[in-house]
Amino acid sequence: MLQRSVGLFEAFLYVLFRENAKVDDFIHVIEGNRKYIKCVYVYNKIDVVGIDDVDAQQNSIVISCNLKARMANAKTRIRLLARMWDEMGLVRVYSKPQGQQPDFDEPFVLSSDRGGCTVEDFCNHVHRTLVKDMKYALVWGTSARHNPQNCGLSQHLEDEDVVQVVKKKEREEGGRGRFKSHSNAPARIADREKKAPLKQ
Tell me: do 9 and 46 sit in the same domain: no
Q: What is the pLDDT of residue 121?
A: 92
Look up the pTM and report it: 0.60
> CA-to-CA distance for 152 and 144, rounded, in angstroms?
12
Give residue 26's pLDDT: 75
Q: Is residue 51 part of a domain?
A: yes
- 34 CB-contact burial (10 Å; exposed 0-12 / middle 13-18 / buried 19+): exposed
Q: Do 102 and 135 fall into the same domain? A: yes
Same domain, 16 and 49: no
SS3 label, residue 178: helix
Q: Residue 195 falls within a domain, yes or no?
A: no
Assign residue 118 the CATH number of its domain. Answer: 3.10.20.30
pLDDT tens figures, 53-107: 666 677 777 776 665 555 566 777 788 888 888 888 889 999 999 889 998 999 9
Q: What are phi and psi of 49, to 5 degrees?
A: -80, -50
Identify whether 182 is part of a domain. no
Q: Are 66 and 73 in contact (CB under 8 A)?
A: yes
Domain assignment present for 107: yes
Q: How many CB atoms are closer than 10 A to CB 115? A: 13
In this structure, is residue 42 part of a structural domain?
yes
pLDDT tens per residue, range 107-135: 999 988 777 889 999 999 999 899 999 99
Do 103 and 81 share a structural domain?
no
Write down the H helix ranges in the chain. 2-6, 23-31, 46-49, 51-56, 70-88, 119-126, 130-133
The answer on 134 and 119 residing in a single domain is: yes
Alpha carbons 72 and 101: distance in angstroms, whole number: 35
Look at residue 193 and tell me if it is in a domain.
Answer: no
User: Rg of the chain over CA atoms, in angstroms?
Assistant: 31
Domain range for 28 is 1-35
pLDDT at 38 over 60: yes
Overall number of domains in the chain: 3
**Would you say residue 194 lies in a domain?**
no
pLDDT at position 161: 93
